[in-house]
Structures are given as structure tokens and as C-alpha cells.
Structure 1
Amino acid sequence: MAAIEMNARDRSRPMTAEEKKVIMASSAGTIFEWYDFYLYGSLAAIIGAQYFTAFPEATRNVFALLAFAAGFIVRPFGALVFGALGDLVGRKYTFLMTILIMGLSTFLVGLLPGYNSWGAAAPIILIVLRMLQGLALGGEYGGAAVYVAEHAPSNQRGYFTAFIQTTATLGLLLSLVVILAVQSYVNANWAPTAVLDAAGAAIMNPDGTPRMIKAFDLWGWRIPFLGSIVLLLISLYIRMQMNESPAFKKMKEEGAASKAPLREAFGTWKNGKFALIALFGLVAGQAVVWYSGQFYALFFLQNVIKVDSFTANVMVAWSLILGTGGFLFFGSLSDKIGRKPIILAGCLIAALTYKFVFPMLTQVANPALHAAQQTIVTVTAAPGDCSFQFNPVGTAKFTSSCDIAKSTLARSSVNYTSVQDPAATVAQVKIGDTVIPSYDATKLAGDAAKTAPAAFTKSVNDALTAAGYPASADKNTTVIKAAHFFDIFSGQKITVVLILTYLIILVTMVYAPIAAMLVELFPTRIRYSGLSLPYHIGNGWFGGLMPATAFAISAQTGNVYGGLWYPIIIAGATVVIGALLVPGNTHKKDIFADDAQ
């Protein structure tokens, strides 16, 4: 690829064909990296059943989501490590390192045996691999955003950096398409297998039939991970063809590179305040809206509304196809009216509408479940009998009668209220007019330890069925179900796709302008380090922990929509802080001026 000559002050001219080639090559490699990272998120529920079988079924999804979040938690450290490397050895070789680490980690997840084979070592290694993925991704985004912004014409930075913003969604879309294709093929050619307990006996459903697991859920899910090795080779080839960033080469030649970018970016209030403003006034809200609209929506469909994974992936995939153009639209719009009003408007609309949108999603996608949730269900227990069932290190056992009652209801997506009764000796579940006493697992012995749990679960399920709750997904004729990828042309399915597309449009509002906005907040010398840390703290911690936190809040409160207060509060706070502190008109700045703030 020919060397690119760049006049840093003359950026209003149209981009050359060579510059566009560089940007597209960078975006393509980033799509593959996001594909690797999001495979786990798309398959979190299935993977949780493989690696967290030692935990109670009611809390298994929380652990699976926490393993997903582990990749986000370490992203700020990746931003620091690879940001420093990018300043020392250059963008190109840093890009090669991040894609290599990401690709190999993803491939190894596909090879990793499950809990039944390796015991506790399996989930530990899984989390380590997720952390390696997070480190790699932490070094990817800042370099890509800076790389593209410093090539783009000054009056089109929002539009051209929006291509980088689409890579996350396109990576998710690519992962969903691959999953759907593999899932269809595997399940069509291999029969389901009976689920066995530790003694080798078949586990039975409440209706007396054997519990079955589909071939994709058992082993087929590994194929997308193993196939990522092909994308790794393609990505490495693409990135080896890229030249070093002209801005980086220019800074090196002039001896203008910062000797200590982290200290310069965060060690003084002059620059450090912009990192805090960017985090709390922009990125935190952007992050929770992004992950609510994509990952939590997918998780909500599968685990709360009880839509089968194939159908949920089809619905989300179509919403991504319809909504992804919003990135380019809002990126271009931000070049005209500014970044700040679009980002904050997206956060405000999300905060005002989430409490209406997700119940609507339930009502349309699973009408029988939505109708049943109107039934009054209460859990009455003595004070202190109920625990907060959120234990990320797996050290607690939730065995009290109240914990058992709540976890049993949570598995069926039941909305319930808690009532304290000092006189209660054992928790009771009241469903309509039916009262069912729970049990304390620590006080059971002998045959009672086997019969009491089964009897309680059956009694609760029978009462829920009588109250209108679907007995099983297979017998629920109202729940949305797609036979194939193009099976979306019915009123129910189109409505679900439109609701999900609305959530994606909110994602594009907050995410499309954020790269250009962050680039414009920091001077050239510290731009890579300056924008990377607040971006990855916001998206890694506020956003990455969103699904697990929301699910745990919902389980604790007894309201399947209770967890939505997490993104609503953070998005609302971002609107207030951003309106007061975030600078306006940054889209008019000369980002190559060292004194630009």
C-alpha cells in the first residue's frame, strides 16, 4: 500500500481513495474482532449450562453473564497497556497484537472442556480467556478511532468515524448469522439427547417427560468459536497490508510524541478533567443504552420472555440489519449540529421509554406469559429469611425457604411481591388463591431431601399453570417462533422486530457520534490514551456489567422489569452531567492543534 502524505491542517478536502482504503481495512479487521468478542454474549445462556452446572439453576444465568462481563472489566487495563504500546511501537503492530490475542482466545473457548469434564478448572479458564479477549479489545478501539479521525476531513469526522462505530454492531450481526446457520444445520442433522444427572439417570420435566437437550446446545455451539480461526487469518492478512498511521509517523519524525502519555493525560487537572467529563457526561449513559438495546434485549428475549434462542437471534439480527444505517445517519448529522445534543437526546429518550418498551416486548412476543404476569403472586417470609441472590464468587448457598421460593418463581419469569411476617416459620408462596409452603433445604434429610424439592416445584408449577402461565415453551402456542431466518412476515414477528429496531436506533444515536466526540476532547499528543481509558471504563464497567446487574436486581425485587432502573438512572444522570459540563461545538475544532481543548 502506497504511503499516505498528510497535511494535518488541510482536512476539508475530500478523502483520497487510498485513505478510504485504509479506513475500510481498519473497520473490517475491527468487525472480526467484535465478532470474536460477542460470540460469548450471544451464547451466554447455552455456555452457562456447560460451565456453571455446579451452581443452582436460578443463579446460573447470573454467573454466565458475569463471565461475559469479565471481558469488559479488564478493558480499561487493555486500554492502558496497548495504548502505551501504540505510542511506542506504532498503531499497525499494536493492531496485529490485539487481533492475534483475540482470535486465539476465541478459538480456545471452542476447545475448552465443560464443567463435567474438568470441574472447577473449566469455568476458571473460561473467565481467563474472556479476560484476554477484554484486554485485546481494550487496545483496539482507541487506536481505531484515532486512526480514522486523523485521516478524515474535518467536516466529516462524525461520518467517517461512524464506520468504526458500526463495527461493533456488524460484529454482533455476523456472530448471530453464523450462530443461526450452524444452529439450523446441527439441530436438523443430529437428534436431541436426554439430560442426565450425576448418577447417569435421565432428568425429568415436571410433566414426567425426559428433559432433552438439542445437539447445538450440547456441542454445536463450539463450531462458531472454532471457525473464528478463519477470520483470524483474514484479519491478520488485512492488517499486515496496512501502513503505519501518517500522524504517528509525523510525530515520530518531528520528535513530538509524548514521553509519558498516561501521566500527561491523567496526571494534571487540565487534561484529567476531560477524562472525568467524558466518562460521566457521555460514555456512561452511552454504554448502558448500547448494552440494553443489544445484549440485554437478546438476553431478555431468551431468558425472561422464554423465546427460543433461534427465534431470538433471528429477531435481533433483523433489527440490526434495519437499524445499523442509523450509525451513518447520526454520525453525519453530528457533523452538522454537533455530537453532544444527539448523544444526550438518545440517553434521555432511553431513560423515558425503557419502562414501557420492555413490557411491550413481553406482551407482543409472549402474550400468554404477559397475561399471566398480571396474576397476584406473593412470597411471605420471616425477616432475615430472604437473601440477596447475587454471589459472583460462588461462596454462598441459597437454601432458606424464602430463597428457594423466590428462585423457583424466577425460573418461570413470575412477577411477585415480598411480604414480611415475623410469625412465619417457613416461607409461603401464594398464587391467586393457592398457598404453597416452601422448605428449608438445610433441615431436610433422607428421603425428604429428594421428595420435598420435587413436590414443591410441582405444586408451584401446577398453580402457575392454573393461573395461566405456559406449562412449557413447546406447549405455548402464543410465544413468537421463527422457522427460518426469513420467517418474519407476520404481525407478531414484524412488531417484535420493530420494537427491537427502536432500541437499536437509540443505540445508534448515542454510539455513532461518540468516537468523534472523544477524539475532539483531547489534544493530539495524548489522544490515544486520553480517550481510551474513559471509553473502556464506561463501556467495560457501566455497560458490560449492565446485563448481570439488571438480571440480579430483577431477581431480588421480584419484578422482571426491575433491573431496567439501572440503565434508566445512569442514562438520566449522564443527561444532567453532560448538559452542564460537556463542551459544545467540538465538531468545529481543529483536532491537530496541540492546544485544542
Structure 2
Amino acid sequence: MADQHQHPHGPEPSASDIKLVIAASSAGTIFEWYDFFIYGTMAAFIGKAFFPSVGPTLQILLVWAGFAVGFGFRPLGAILFGYFGDKLGRKYTFLVTVTLMGISTAGVGLIPSADTIGLWAPLIVIVLRILQGLALGGEYGGAAIYVSEHSPPSRRGYFTGYIQGSVVGGFVLSIIVVLLNQAAFSDDVLAAWGWRVPFLLSLALLAISLWMRLKLSESPVFIAMREEGEISGNPFVESFTYPGNKKRIFIALFGVTGILTTIWYTAFFSALSFLKGPMRVDATVVEVVIGLTALISMSFYVIVGGWSDKIGRKLPLVIGAAATLVLIFPLFWGMGTLANPGLQASARAAPVVVSGQACATDPFADLSGNKLSDCGKLLETLTASGVPYTVQAADQLSLTVGGRAVDIAPAWLADDAAHKKDADKARKAGIEAALTAHGFDFSVQTPGLPALLGIAGILLVLGALSALTYGGVAAQLCEMFPAPIRYSSMSIPYHIGAGYLGGFLPLIASYINARTGDAYAGLWYTWVVVAFGLIVAIWGLHGGPPRDYGEDAS
């Protein structure tokens, strides 16, 4: 099946052309992912501005739900822009996506708060997140294919590795901007309007990205297809009817994207949420450490991409996935011990036990109208405070710390609308005071230098695991599919996997943590997805040196 129809070749780009292609594509990718990630990085401010009337646990879950909505629409964006990319060209399609992303992000910074316009505020946020998801669904495939189709086959992994590293670059840029924003404004100004500045900055980044990308020419492969009359009639339909493509899409979805995306979000967003949340580490310290380690890890993606040019795309991915299954829990346990050793020691020395009837918590109770049981209210407060606990069924409600009973004040348990907020505050203050008397420390943590270096080392290991499973993937996905339907065929599985398996990870992991009261329980989601993906990858991916589609079209 290796005929010219499947392998059109355009004019060979010069070295300067390739440098411009990589620079413009990488910069645009950094800016576009910055736009997408700034929402997650500013989660605390977004929750207070647009979801002010709910408790802290539900507030952060609603923010992550909004985060997930954007990812949920990525597959639709992949279908839409994949179609245009295969029909009209790579260059102009991702010019449209970066414009849509920049305008949508700036829009989040312009929405009045819920205190001003009520429910319209979160609803408009959701609409803008949908537009962002649509835009991102077309961006990655466009940038990856554009660089891949300009690259010589022997260096395709290395050159596209810059695109992979640029995704991390967007995350790093979002953290840098947040830190600068925090340094420039007081806490009061940040809470009032300063948090909006990083969103409005996207307009400047959009202008830079458009200026750079307008300098680019069309992909040589697309030019050749157009000249030879090989443009697909309907890329979306043909992606599912082309011989063998359904199998390749399945492998790309679960055996490639499912692995890389869950590891990526665990390494960066789960670590960020874990350290700032249950471990109570100072937010600025967390952002600096994660920002620096992510910046260093950007080089890992380029290194792995180049390595995959020599040994093939499969081996690094399989190594990274297998290592993740072995290391993911120990790495987070180690990070928790270094970040807040007092919490770990107190939990062991004075275990918390909650007893009662209907001892379960529902993070979405405020939305569903269901009332938590008295036991569930205690669990919700312990979870929000990052305290591990054990649940026992009993007729009478009780809370013990190290075997000693804690007096439960009636004011803690009120659930009528008029007194609920006061009850939540009283319960939090009372429980934390009781636990403080038994050695628990609820102050903001600032780990010493040795601990910070240890945390940074763990984060770099997580970054390396992500790079192993991600560095060579852009080249791999481009090589898996025929050129006339490449934009659609690789974008669809990539964005279904990244949109649902990865994009919903912060929400699902946070929900699991909230339901169990275990800050580490959400890691099981990552473990299960990666384990299944590893089986698919071993079964479905070709080993050995890289090969173009058509050299082995099975």
C-alpha cells in the first residue's frame, strides 16, 4: 500500500525554513496552552469569583468541572478543524484556532463576578471554556503535523519534540505570569480584579502568535497533495472507512494518548493541587518549585523525541508507562512526607476515627439538594482540611482523635439555609482546634531547602515519566496515518483521549479524594488508565525504527 497517493512529497524546506517553522509553531503552542492552563492555575480566584455561594470542596470541584468542560469539547474541535486542516490546509486552520483561543481566554477576564450578574457569570465562563476546547482541538494536530511534514524523517521525533515541550511551556508561562501578578498586586487587589490580568494578557500573546505564524508558508506535504489532486473528499468519514484506520485510531486513543495524557496531568496539575491543597504548602513556594522543575523538564521532551528517532517510538512510551505503574504512589507518598511531615506523623500518632450512621460524603450535595448526614458533614470538613480518617458504622455519632473523643457542638451540624455557612465555619474551626491539641498543624507550610530539593527531584522524575510517554508522540501519530486524512485521523483520538481521559482527571481524582478522605486515592484513576493503555500499546504499536505510513500500513 506504499504508493505516491499515500506519500506525497513537497519541496524540501531549507534549514532556515525549519527553524522558523519550529519557532513559530512552538511559540504559538506555548501561547495557546497558556491560554488554556491559566484557568487551572488561577482556580482559587475563579472559584471565589464565579462560584461564591458553595463550600470550599464543591467550589474547587466546580472549577475543575469547568476545566473539564473545555476538554470535553476538544474532540468536536478536532473533528471540525481536522476537516478544515485536511481540506483547506494546515497553516490557515491553526491561525483560526489560535485566534479563537486568545479571544475566548481574554473573555474570561472580562466577565463580571457572580455577585454582580448572578448565574450568568458561571454560564458565560462555561461557554468560553467550550470555545477554548474547540480551539485546542484543532491546535495540537495542526502544529504537530505542520512541523512533522517539514521535518526530514530521520529527525522527525527531535523536531516535533519541541512541540511536545511547548505544551509544558504553556504551563510554565501560566505559572510565571501568576507569580508576577501576585508580586505586583496586594491580596485585596488580586481578589478584587488583579486575577483578571493574566487572562487579558492573552490578547498580547495572540498578536505575537499571529505575527509569527503569518510568516509561515503552507506545509510542503499539503502543497504536494493539492497539486496532485489528492485532497480528501471528506476527511472525517474517511478516517473511519480507510482500511485499517479504525484499529489505528483505537491504538492511538488508548495505547498512546490515554497513557501520555493521564501521566502529564498527574505530573503537573495533580502535583500542583496536592501540594497547595491537602499538604498546605505555601502557594507561591509551590508555584515556584513546580514552575522551575517544569521548565527544566521541557528539555526532556526534545531529548526523548530525538531518542525515538534512533530506537523507535514504542520503547520510550512503554518504559515510561511501566515505570509510572511502579512509581506513581511512592513518588506522591514521598512528596507528601517531604511537604508536610507533621501531618503524616500526626495522622499516625493520633489516628482520626469518625463513627455514625450514613457515614458518607457527597461533594455535590449543595447542587443536588441532598442533605448530608451529620456524619457526612464531619467527613466533608476533614477532607477539606486534608486530614486522613477512618470510618466506622455506629448508632451514635462520634469523632475520636488518638482514641480520645471530641465534643461535637450542635452548632456544627445545622443545615438550614440561614445557618449553614455559620455551621460550616464553626465545624471547621472546632475540628481543627481539637486536632491541633493533638499535634496536628494546620498552618501554611514552608518546607526547608532539603525538603524543597527533594520535592523538586520527585517532580523532575514525574516530568521524565511524562516525557518518555509524550516526547516522540507527535511524530508517532503523524506516521500512523495517511497524509490526506492525517489532520483528522490523529486529532480525533488524541483529543478524545486528552479531552476525556486526561481533561477530566483533576475532577475525577478530586472527587475520589473527597469521597474517600484519602489525598492519594485519586492516583488510582491514573494507574488504571495507564495500565490499560500499556496493554494496548504493547499489543498494537510497532517496535523497531520509525517508519512512515505506507512502509507498514497494517
TM-score > 0.5 by shorter chain: yes
Partner SS state of residue 562, structure 1: coil
The answer to whether the Cα contact below 8 Å between 1:287 and 1:543 also exists between their aligned partners in 2 is: yes
Q: Does 1:380 align with 2:339?
A: no
Which of the numbers 408, 426, 433 marks the counterpart of 1:462? 433
Alpha-carbon distance in structure 2 between the residues aligned to 1:450 and 1:227: 36
The answer to whether the Cα contact below 8 Å between 1:434 and 1:463 also exists between their aligned partners in 2 is: no
Partner SS state of residue 378, structure 1: strand
Q: Counterpart of 1:567?
A: 526
Q: Counterpart of 2:141?
A: 142
Alpha-carbon distance in structure 1 between the residues aligned to 2:203 and 2:418: 51
Letter in 2 for 1:396: G
Partner SS state of residue 201, structure 2: helix
Partner SS state of residue 439, structure 2: coil
Question: What is the deviation of 1:377?
Answer: 1.1
Q: Which runs of 4+ in 1 moved over 4 A?
A: 7-11, 438-455
Q: Counterpart of 1:512?
A: 471
Alpha-carbon distance in structure 2 between the residues aligned to 1:46 and 1:276: 38
Tell me whether 440-449 or 78-87 shows the greater mean CA deviation.
440-449
Question: What is the deviation of 1:451?
Answer: 6.8
Letter in 2 for 1:430: T
Letter in 1 for 2:519: V
CA-to-partner distance for each residue in 1:331-386, whole Å, 9 max, x for gaps? 11111111111112111111211111112112112222232232311221224x52
Q: Counterpart of 1:413?
A: 386
Q: Counterpart of 1:207?
A: none
Alpha-carbon distance in structure 1 between the residues aligned to 2:259 and 2:107: 33
Q: Does 1:332 align with 2:295?
A: no
Letter in 2 for 1:596: A
The answer to whether the Cα contact below 8 Å between 1:98 and 1:140 also exists between their aligned partners in 2 is: yes
Which of the numbers 325, 331, 340 marks the counterpart of 1:351? 325
Q: Does 1:428 align with 2:398?
A: yes
Alpha-carbon distance in structure 2 between the residues aligned to 1:101 and 1:171: 17
The answer to whether the Cα contact below 8 Å between 1:66 and 1:548 also exists between their aligned partners in 2 is: yes
Q: Counterpart of 2:547?
A: 589
Which of the numbers 216, 222, 233 marks the counterpart of 1:248? 222
Alpha-carbon distance in structure 2 between the residues aligned to 1:257 and 1:54: 53
Letter in 1 for 2:56: E
The answer to whether the Cα contact below 8 Å between 2:69 and 2:130 also exists between their aligned partners in 1 is: yes
The answer to whether the Cα contact below 8 Å between 2:57 and 2:363 also exists between their aligned partners in 1 is: no
Alpha-carbon distance in structure 2 between the residues aligned to 1:86 and 1:164: 18
Alpha-carbon distance in structure 2 between the residues aligned to 1:458 and 1:497: 33
Question: What is the deviation of 1:472?
Answer: 2.8
The answer to whether the Cα contact below 8 Å between 1:399 and 1:440 also exists between their aligned partners in 2 is: no
Q: Counterpart of 2:80?
A: 81
Q: Counterpart of 2:204?
A: 230
Tell me whether 238-247 or 129-138 shows the greater mean CA deviation.
238-247
Q: 1:245 to 1:268 in 2, by over 3 A?
A: closer
TM-score, normalised via structure 2 length: 0.93
Q: 1:37 to 1:449 in 2, by over 3 A?
A: closer
CA-to-partner distance for each residue in 1:14-53, whole Å, 9 max, x for gaps? 9522222123212211111111111111111221122111
Question: What is the deviation of 1:583?
Answer: 2.2
Question: What is the deviation of 1:231?
Answer: 0.7
Letter in 2 for 1:31: I
CA-to-partner distance for each residue in 1:165-215, whole Å, 9 max, x for gaps? 11111111111111111211213xxxx4xxxxxxxxxxxxxxxxxxxxx43
Partner SS state of residue 380, structure 1: strand
Question: What is the deviation of 1:438?
Answer: 7.2
The answer to whether the Cα contact below 8 Å between 1:398 and 1:404 also exists between their aligned partners in 2 is: no
The answer to whether the Cα contact below 8 Å between 1:15 and 1:153 also exists between their aligned partners in 2 is: no
Q: Counterpart of 2:3?
A: none
Alpha-carbon distance in structure 2 between the residues aligned to 1:287 and 1:398: 36
Letter in 1 for 2:488: S
Q: Counterpart of 1:72?
A: 71
Question: What is the deviation of 1:249?
Answer: 1.7
Letter in 1 for 2:352: V
Return 5+ residue gaps in structure 2 as ranges.
Answer: 1-6
Question: What is the deviation of 1:266?
Answer: 1.4
The answer to whether the Cα contact below 8 Å between 1:48 and 1:61 also exists between their aligned partners in 2 is: yes
Which of the numbers 368, 371, 374 marks the counterpart of 1:395? 368
Q: 1:441 to 1:386 in 2, by over 3 A?
A: farther
- Taking only the aligned residue pairs, the percentage that are identical comes to 39
The answer to whether the Cα contact below 8 Å between 1:405 and 1:428 also exists between their aligned partners in 2 is: no
Coordinate RMSD, CA, aligned? 2.4
Letter in 2 for 1:394: L
CA-to-partner distance for each residue in 1:537-592, whole Å, 9 max, x for gaps? 1111101111111111011112111111110111112112211222223x43234x
CA-to-partner distance for each residue in 1:509-563, whole Å, 9 max, x for gaps? 1111111111111111211111101100111110111111111101111211111
Q: Does 1:554 align with 2:513?
A: yes
CA-to-partner distance for each residue in 1:271-326, whole Å, 9 max, x for gaps? 11110111111211111101000111111111121122211110111101222111
The answer to whether the Cα contact below 8 Å between 2:10 and 2:220 also exists between their aligned partners in 1 is: no
Q: Counterpart of 2:538?
A: 579
The answer to whether the Cα contact below 8 Å between 1:80 and 1:533 also exists between their aligned partners in 2 is: yes
Alpha-carbon distance in structure 2 between the residues aligned to 1:539 and 1:116: 34
The answer to whether the Cα contact below 8 Å between 1:106 and 1:225 also exists between their aligned partners in 2 is: yes
Q: 1:180 to 1:429 in 2, by over 3 A?
A: same
Question: What is the deviation of 1:455?
Answer: 4.6
Alpha-carbon distance in structure 2 between the residues aligned to 1:63 and 1:390: 9
Q: Counterpart of 1:98?
A: 97
Alpha-carbon distance in structure 2 between the residues aligned to 1:281 and 1:248: 28
Question: What is the deviation of 1:458?
Answer: 3.3
The answer to whether the Cα contact below 8 Å between 1:387 and 1:398 also exists between their aligned partners in 2 is: no
Q: Does 1:30 align with 2:4?
A: no
Alpha-carbon distance in structure 1 between the residues aligned to 2:331 and 2:429: 33
Alpha-carbon distance in structure 1 between the residues aligned to 2:285 and 2:265: 20
The answer to whether the Cα contact below 8 Å between 1:401 and 1:439 also exists between their aligned partners in 2 is: no
Which of the numbers 217, 233, 244 marks the counterpart of 1:259? 233
Alpha-carbon distance in structure 1 between the residues aligned to 2:412 and 2:385: 20
Alpha-carbon distance in structure 2 between the residues aligned to 1:451 and 1:154: 64
Q: Counterpart of 1:367?
A: 341
CA-to-partner distance for each residue in 1:381-413, whole Å, 9 max, x for gaps? 224x5244346x933344321221111101210
Partner SS state of residue 304, structure 1: coil
Q: Counterpart of 2:295?
A: 321
Alpha-carbon distance in structure 1 between the residues aligned to 2:438 and 2:493: 48
Q: Does 1:123 align with 2:122?
A: yes
Alpha-carbon distance in structure 1 between the residues aligned to 2:35 and 2:421: 42
Paired residues for 1:160-175 under 5 Å: 160-175=159-174
Higher relative contact order at CA 8 Å, sep ≥6: structure 1 or structure 2?
Answer: 2
The answer to whether the Cα contact below 8 Å between 1:262 and 1:529 also exists between their aligned partners in 2 is: yes
Which of the numbers 227, 250, 270 marks the counterpart of 2:244? 270
Larger helix proportion, structure 1 or 2? 2
